[in-house]
Chain A
Amino acid sequence: MQGVLLTEGSTISIALSDAGLVLFGVLLVLYGVAVGMTFVIRHAKESWGMLSGIYFLILAVLVGIVMLDLSGASGALYTIQSIEHLSELLSTHRWLLIQVPVLLALSSLIVLLTYRSNIAESHAKTYRMFLQIAVLFGFASVILIGFESML
């Protein structure tokens, strides 16, 4: 009997054996934290260091995922014949889309390291807005990639 968590050969154990899946899960968690922290940084300016660390981790995980896919060290592949062409198109779209969170995370990290705790001040409003837009679009891109990979 194959269960989700408690049985032998559970779904979770199979999922955790796939490095790409683990990294994707970690990425979603990191982005969740980054979204929350980015929107409260104005009132918690000393958290800029932790947010910078989160962005660094996001960047590292994204590069890891790309490297895994480029090296071909992926898990089993399933293609539904009837939507094969759509799967191919969406795969190309994902290869393009992955650049967005990488570039956004890199730029956000640079902005945070430049402004540090001064990011909370009134003159840094434009850069805070940039961080907010960047983290939302980066998160949305990752979720979109996840959804497209299901087809």
Chain B
Amino acid sequence: MRSFFSRIHESVALAAIFALSVTLHVAWLANLLAHKIPLVRAWFTVSADIGPVSGMYLFTLIVFVLFFGLGVLAWKGKDCSHWRERILWFFMVSLVVFFVMTLPIVYDFGVLVE
């Protein structure tokens, strides 16, 4: 038991960053789909009082937990040193993409065909 806590379980830390990065992508995608497709917006409306945001937040949380679990299982007991830089870059790119794709002028963009 003491050796479990004295070790660094790097798979957990790496999985957290990986799950965060994936969740950011899922979040902007969910927003884009909910904005463009009424069916998706209705599907995300868990609480009618709150609106589609209720489902989107819940979906984001589920995705984070799911990918965190998958990451921990995938990297458990393995040497993660060569994954550190890759996951960090994935995180940085995900952050930038999220900020750009959640700008109203970006996800609201549409082409009118007459």
Contacts and interface: CB of A to CB of B under 8 A. Distances in A.
Given A89-B104, A92-B104, A99 B60 contact: yes
B13 interface: yes
A150 interface: no
Contact of A107 (B8, B20, B27): B20
Contacts of A96: 27-28, 31, 102
Contacts of B24: 100, 103
Contacts of A130: 17, 88, 91
Interface in A70-127: 70, 72, 89-90, 92-93, 95-97, 99-100, 103-104, 106-107, 110-111, 114-115, 118, 123, 126-127
B8 A115 contact: yes
Interface residues of B, number: 34
A68 interface: no
Contacts of B12: 110, 114
Interface of A: 66, 70, 72, 89-90, 92-93, 95-97, 99-100, 103-104, 106-107, 110-111, 114-115, 118, 123, 126-127, 129-130, 133, 137
